[in-house]
């Protein structure tokens, strides 16, 4: 019987309030809990078990053996397995050689261990067809994280700290002090394991925990830890508001999108405040690949630099940026060939999402003039067009007539001559009649389809941006 949900348990009340405040759980949810055997994760498991009757949740425990502390770590594993047996919780044990893996990956043991744990939690969630992953971060962890990030020069997002909910990861104990967690375990006569490495000063977080936080509490403010955590909560709210604004701006500035890239109007981007520019770049990178933890503020500033001056930027984890034809292209990995084709109909606007543009053809030279801010108005001789025009991406072997003698040039060579990045080339619309290229938008028009000096039966193809209609 778990007694920690009594009126005397501060941790239980705080954790339950946190669950309700952030809508962490729902009836019938399947939850994977990371359990190391330490005080925090042991309390988390007991707390979740106390909610089984309230929420009807199913709980699965995962214990990751890091292969570092010998018999002590083996004892942790046995402890967790026995605890799960008593609580009637299914438990999976995952073993790894973290020291060896950290050397191979050229990461600290701390970061390697963290990456392994979250990977195993997610794999277990998938295997169990579970909904959520619960981890045991608390208010002490929050304060330590903020201090560490201040020392590293983090921006507002970093100083927002550990989020109570991130995707399918929930942290019910995030508003609880470690002392309250240990009191909860004492109320339940529940022992826990102590990791001896927590008292070694080889790790940055341990030095902050053992020296910096106690000094702040003793010499500066006894409520330092709580105040730091409260500041993180306020900053997180402001960070989320600014992020929502950046996402709206990204949608407005977007002039092309494909599976692994997004293109934005660089001119309009640079009219905004620098703070919002940075946010929009981050939002653009997240939109093509969510994991941008290795992309720093310096990398974001480099991207803004090429938005202003042109060029190319490589970032960590396969992120890249290119500038061409007034577009800033943000992408992840190698650019992918895309294939699109949209038939144009008389006096009907056709939206091409791949490049964020509307196209409309008409024989009326005055249609909507002054009402829509056109980006281009292309004029062709209708008598020279025998097949209904389409807007499409470039194709291998495409050529365009460059002079009245019928001379032509490959589109590929034109792009190379103009130093247009490869990732940008697939986003430049081509207007064609059958296999014949009429126009490479913003680059070159075919001489063959231009009206002659006598004028006459003209066809107008007007182009405008998505947000100018």
pLDDT interval class at 7 (50, 70, 90)? very low
Q: What mean pLDDT do residues 172-178 have?
A: 95
Rounded CA-CA distance 59/133 in Å is 10
Q: Name, of 160-174, 323-337, 375-389, the range with top average pLDDT.
A: 160-174
Residue 76 or residue 7, greater confidence:
76
Measuring CA to CA, which residue among 205, 128, 136, 129 is closest to residue 169?
A: 136
CA distance to 97, 137, 191, 326, per residue, from 182 (Å)? 30, 14, 9, 59
In the prediction, which pLDDT does 419 show? 76
Query: Token match 């053809």: residue?
Result: 361
Which pairing describes strands 399-401 and 319-324: parallel, antiparallel, or unpaired? unpaired
Q: What mean pLDDT do residues 41-45 have?
A: 97
pTM of the model as a whole: 0.69
Tens of pLDDT, residues 177-203:
999 999 999 999 999 998 777 766 667
Tens of pLDDT, residues 104-138:
887 787 888 888 999 999 999 999 999 999 999 99
Indicate the SS3 state at residue 38: coil
Rounded CA-CA distance 134/223 in Å is 27
Measuring CA to CA, which residue among 145, 117, 143, 137 is closest to residue 40?
A: 137
Instruction: For residue 250, give every residue at least 6 positions away whose Cβ sits within 8 Å of its Cβ, in sequence order, or none.
Output: 262, 264, 280, 283, 284, 287
Contact 5, 19 (CB under 8 A): no
Q: What mean pLDDT do residues 164-176 have?
A: 95
pLDDT interval class at 406 (50, 70, 90)? confident
Strand partners, 134: 33, 170
In the prediction, which pLDDT does 2 show? 60
Using CA atoms of 419, 424, 430, 436 in order, give the dihedral in degrees to the nearest 10.
50
CA distance to 89, 133, 245, 367, per residue, from 29 (Å)? 15, 11, 32, 57
Separation of first and last alpha carbons in the chain: 65
Given a cut of 50, whether residue 449 has pLDDT beyond it is yes
Lowest mean pLDDT segment, chosen from 1-15, 147-161, 252-266, 375-389:
1-15
Tens of pLDDT, residues 416-428:
888 777 767 777 8
Rounded CA-CA distance 464/376 in Å is 7
Given a cut of 90, whether residue 356 has pLDDT beyond it is no
* Mean residue pLDDT across the chain: 87
Rounded CA-CA distance 57/33 in Å is 12
| Chain centroid to CA 171 | 20
Q: What mean pLDDT do residues 257-266 have?
A: 82
The per-residue DSSP string of 66-79 comes to -S-STHHHHHHHHH
Rounded CA-CA distance 467/444 in Å is 24
Given a cut of 60, whether residue 29 has pLDDT beyond it is yes
Lowest mean pLDDT segment, chosen from 109-113, 297-301, 419-423, 444-448:
419-423
């Amino acid at each position: 019987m778990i007694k920690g949900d009594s009126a005397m348990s501060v941790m239980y009340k705080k954790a339950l309030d946190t669950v309700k405040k952030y809508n962490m759980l729902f009836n019938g949810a399947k939850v994977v809990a990371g359990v190391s055997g330490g005080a925090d994760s042991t309390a988390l498991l007991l707390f979740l078990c106390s909610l089984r009757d309230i929420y009807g949740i199913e709980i699965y425990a995962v214990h990751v053996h890091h292969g570092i502390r010998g018999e002590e770590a083996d004892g942790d594993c046995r402890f967790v397995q026995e605890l799960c047996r008593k609580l009637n919780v299914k438990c999976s044990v995952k073993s790894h050689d973290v020291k060896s893996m950290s050397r191979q990956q050229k990461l600290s043991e701390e970061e390697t261990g963290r990456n392994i744990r979250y990977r195993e939690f997610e794999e277990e969630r998938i295997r169990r067809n579970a909904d959520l992953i619960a981890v045991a971060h608390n208010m002490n962890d929050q304060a330590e994280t903020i201090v560490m990030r201040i020392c590293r020069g983090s921006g507002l997002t970093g100083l927002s700290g550990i989020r109570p909910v991130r995707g399918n990861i929930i942290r019910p104990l995030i508003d609880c002090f470690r002392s309250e967690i240990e009191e909860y375990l004492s109320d339940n006569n529940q022992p826990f394991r102590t990791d001896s490495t927590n008292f070694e000063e080889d790790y940055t977080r341990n030095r902050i925990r053992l020296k910096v936080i106690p000094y702040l509490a003793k010499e500066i403010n006894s409520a330092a830890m709580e105040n730091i955590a409260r500041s993180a909560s306020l900053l997180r709210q402001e960070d989320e508001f600014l992020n929502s604004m950046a996402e709206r701006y990204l949608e407005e500035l977007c002039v092309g999108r494909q599976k692994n890239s997004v293109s934005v109007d660089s001119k309009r981007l640079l009219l905004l405040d620098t703070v919002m520019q940075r946010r929009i770049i981050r939002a653009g990178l997240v939109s093509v690949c969510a994991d941008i933890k290795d992309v720093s503020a310096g990398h974001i500033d480099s991207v803004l630099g090429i938005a202003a001056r042109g060029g190319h930027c490589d970032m960590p984890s396969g992120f890249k940026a290119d500038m061409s034809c007034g577009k800033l292209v943000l992408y992840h990995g190698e650019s992918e060939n895309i294939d699109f084709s949209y038939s144009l109909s008389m006096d009907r606007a056709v939206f091409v999402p791949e490049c964020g543009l509307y196209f409309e053809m008409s024989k009326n030279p005055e249609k909507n003039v002054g009402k829509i801010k056109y980006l281009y108005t292309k004029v062709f001789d209708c008598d020279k067009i025998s097949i209904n025009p389409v807007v499409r991406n470039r194709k291998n072997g495409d050529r365009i007539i460059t002079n009245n003698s019928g001379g032509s040039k490959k589109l590929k060579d034109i792009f190379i001559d103009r130093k247009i990045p490869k990732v940008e080339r697939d986003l430049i619309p081509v207007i064609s009649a059958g296999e014949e290229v009429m126009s490479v938008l913003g680059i070159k028009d075919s001489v063959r389809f231009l009206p002659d000096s006598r004028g006459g039966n003209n066809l107008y193809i007007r182009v405008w941006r998505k947000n100018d209609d």
